[in-house]
């Protein structure tokens, strides 16, 4: 018998959700779960060393710890590849204004919206910012998220943006959800630069991006850089300038594109080799075709149109089926933020994706795990239950993975294992 740290066994369905030759599940191939019935998985030093039938693995390994799934479903931990954590405060007042008829963009143009959270986040002491976001991450973990992207973008000056980066690093160290950091000084034009967007872009490329690059070199990490390419935020030329400078400084790239207006951000992302392009609601056919040819992962955020819905103002969603028909790689994320989508649950996102994007439960599950990992450059490490990967997994309180997506508003997660350690029981 071989010694291992952990053996998870007796899973009615063990969903491996494999990558395809080290790549995301693209186009028509999205939704492969590779289910092992009565499955088991052995873990050594936090990594998966074997996957197979329970009877075989129980005869092969003597584990220090066992998780008996008792016929339940075991799936990879969810990866949430787009959040705006950390932020400080809330905007319940703006939600009330939206219920009374104001639009998100009107509130933003009047100095609220992102700027309102920027004011609250700038004022928070670093320790307050961390303390305010820790419970949020604890709730996400309970709901099955084991890795997440976290962005700056509520600082919008050099010191406050770096304060957010430090908060992300501290949050990552203090709890089990692994955080992948993104620097986003171009999330909005701050009110100090009203009418002077180009001057702010100068500031971003000349001062802020180099400061973030110093931060990453000192800590030996690679940051993503993201930009909000949108009417009322940064136009296509400004977005290009920012992303090209970021690439030259060693950042990997992301973009917020086509949320309200199609400015060409998705094609720009593919051209620049961005790791992901996110939102993609108004994306034109030519840009969808570009996603099919390129390697950029399309990240759909169905919590955002849902969060922006008013009873008389139905919202458009990402044309996910057209992206898949073009051969694109599709992932799902919460966009967790205080303005448009305060959603901490990937299970809720899967439920929305099944209804509003037209995905099957299997497609949505793969988009929320293996493809989501590729959307943050972590597809080689997390997102699937393949040998060699980090042992990040969930035992669900059901024997059928299809309950995820079918049920909504609750939490089907019973047990969470992160890097081979049981962190929620």
Binding residues for Fe ion, rule: CB under 5 A, are 335
- Least CB distance to Fe ion at residue 275 (A): 15
CA dist 182 and 274 (Å) reads 13
CA dist 347 and 335 (Å) reads 13
- Least CB distance to ligand NIG at residue 339 (A): 2
Q: Smaller CB distance to ligand NIG: residue 304 or 390?
A: 304
Total Cβ atoms within 10 A of residue 407: 14
Residue 235 interacting partner from ligand NIG, Fe ion, none (CB closer than 5 to 8 Å by kind) = none
Residue 121 interacting partner from ligand NIG, Fe ion, none (CB closer than 5 to 8 Å by kind) = none
DSSP assignment string, 136-194: HHHHHHHTTEEEEEEE--S--SHHHHHHHHHHHHHHHHHSSSEEEEEEEEESS--GGGT
CB closest to Fe ion, residue no: 335
**Rounded CA Rg of the chain:** 21
- Least CB distance to ligand NIG at residue 114 (A): 5
- Least CB distance to Fe ion at residue 259 (A): 8
Token pair 């996400």 is found at: 140
- Least CB distance to ligand NIG at residue 286 (A): 23
- Least CB distance to Fe ion at residue 256 (A): 5
Q: Smaller CB distance to Fe ion: residue 292 or 307?
A: 307
Q: Smaller CB distance to Fe ion: residue 10 or 296?
A: 296
Q: Smaller CB distance to ligand NIG: residue 113 or 328?
A: 113
Q: Smaller CB distance to ligand NIG: residue 73 or 332?
A: 332
Residue 83 interacting partner from ligand NIG, Fe ion, none (CB closer than 5 to 8 Å by kind) = none
- 23 burial level (CB within 10 Å; 0-12, 13-18, 19+): middle
The conformation of residue 233, written as its DSSP 8-state character, comes to: S
SS (H, E, C) 256-316: EECCCCCCCHHHHHHHCCCCEEEECCCCCHHHHHHHHHCCCEEEECCHHHHHHCECCECCC
CB closest to ligand NIG, residue no: 339
Report angle CA 42, 46, 50 to the nearest 5 degrees.
25
CB 298 within 8 A of CB 291: yes
Q: Which of 157, 154, 156 is nearest to 168 (CA)?
A: 154
Can you tell me whether residue 341 is helix, strand or coil? strand
Residue 377 interacting partner from ligand NIG, Fe ion, none (CB closer than 5 to 8 Å by kind) = none
- Cα-based torsion angle of the residue sequence 349, 350, 352, 355 in order, rounded to the nearest 10 degrees: 170
The answer to whether the Cα torsion of 351, 399, 146, 380 is positive or negative is negative
Q: Smaller CB distance to ligand NIG: residue 259 or 287?
A: 259
- Least CB distance to Fe ion at residue 69 (A): 35
Residue 172 interacting partner from ligand NIG, Fe ion, none (CB closer than 5 to 8 Å by kind) = none
Which positions lie near ligand NIG, rule CB under 6 A?
Answer: 84, 113-114, 117, 228, 256, 259, 304, 335, 337-340
Q: Smaller CB distance to Fe ion: residue 343 or 366?
A: 343
- Least CB distance to ligand NIG at residue 279 (A): 7
Residue 339 interacting partner from ligand NIG, Fe ion, none (CB closer than 5 to 8 Å by kind) = ligand NIG
- Least CB distance to Fe ion at residue 184 (A): 9
Residue 228 interacting partner from Fe ion, ligand NIG, none (CB closer than 5 to 8 Å by kind) = ligand NIG
Q: Smaller CB distance to ligand NIG: residue 80 or 392?
A: 80
Residue 178 interacting partner from ligand NIG, Fe ion, none (CB closer than 5 to 8 Å by kind) = none
Residue 259 interacting partner from Fe ion, ligand NIG, none (CB closer than 5 to 8 Å by kind) = ligand NIG
How far are the Cα atoms of 15, 44, 234, 379, 398 from residue 415, in angstroms, in the given order? 15, 19, 42, 23, 12
Q: Smaller CB distance to ligand NIG: residue 233 or 382?
A: 233
């Amino acid at each position: 018998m071989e010694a291992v740290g952990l053996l998870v066994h007796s899973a009615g369905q063990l969903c491996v959700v494999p990558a395809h030759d080290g790549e995301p599940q693209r186009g028509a191939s999205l939704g492969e779960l590779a289910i092992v019935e009565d499955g088991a998985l052995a873990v050594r030093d936090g990594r998966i060393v074997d996957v197979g039938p329970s009877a075989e693995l129980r005869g092969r390994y003597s584990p220090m710890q066992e998780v008996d799934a008792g016929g339940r479903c075991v799936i990879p931990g969810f990866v949430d590849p787009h959040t705006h954590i950390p932020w400080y405060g809330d905007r319940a007042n703006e939600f009330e204004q939206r219920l009374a008829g104001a639009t998100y963009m009107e509130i933003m143009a009047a100095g609220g919206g992102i700027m309102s959270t920027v004011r609250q986040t700038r004022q928070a002491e670093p320790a307050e910012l961390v303390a305010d976001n820790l419970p949020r991450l604890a709730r996400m973990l309970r709901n099955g998220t084991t890795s997440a992207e976290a962005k700056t973008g509520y600082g919008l000056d050099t010191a406050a943006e770096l304060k957010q980066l430090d908060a992300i690093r501290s949050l990552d160290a203090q709890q089990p959800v692994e955080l992948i950091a993104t620097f986003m000084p171009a999330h909005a034009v701050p009110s100090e630069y009203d009418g002077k967007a180009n001057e702010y872009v100068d500031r971003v490329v000349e001062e802020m991006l180099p400061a973030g690059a110093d931060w990453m070199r000192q800590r030996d990490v690679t940051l993503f850089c993201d930009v909000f390419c949108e009417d009322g935020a940064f136009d296509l030329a400004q977005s290009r300038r920012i992303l090209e400078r970021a690439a030259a400084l060693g950042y990997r790239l992301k973009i917020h594109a086509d949320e309200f207006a199609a400015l060409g951000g998705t094609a720009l992302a593919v051209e620049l080799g961005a790791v992901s392009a996110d939102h993609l609601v108004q994306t034109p056919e030519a840009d969808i075709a570009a996603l099919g040819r390129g390697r950029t992962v399309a990240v759909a955020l169905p919590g955002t149109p849902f969060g922006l819905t008013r009873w008389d103002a139905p919202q458009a969603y990402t044309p996910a089926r057209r992206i898949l028909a073009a051969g694109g790689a599709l992932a799902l994320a919460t966009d967790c933020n205080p303005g448009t989508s305060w959603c901490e649950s990937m299970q809720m996102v899967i439920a929305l994706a099944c209804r509003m994007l037209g995905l099957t439960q299997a497609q949505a599950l793969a988009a929320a795990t293996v493809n989501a990992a590729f959307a943050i450059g972590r597809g080689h490490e997390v997102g699937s239950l393949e040998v060699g990967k980090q042992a990040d997994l969930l035992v669900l309180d059901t024997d059928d993975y299809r309950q995820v997506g079918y049920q909504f508003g609750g939490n089907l997660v019973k047990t969470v294992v992160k890097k081979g350690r049981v962190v929620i029981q």
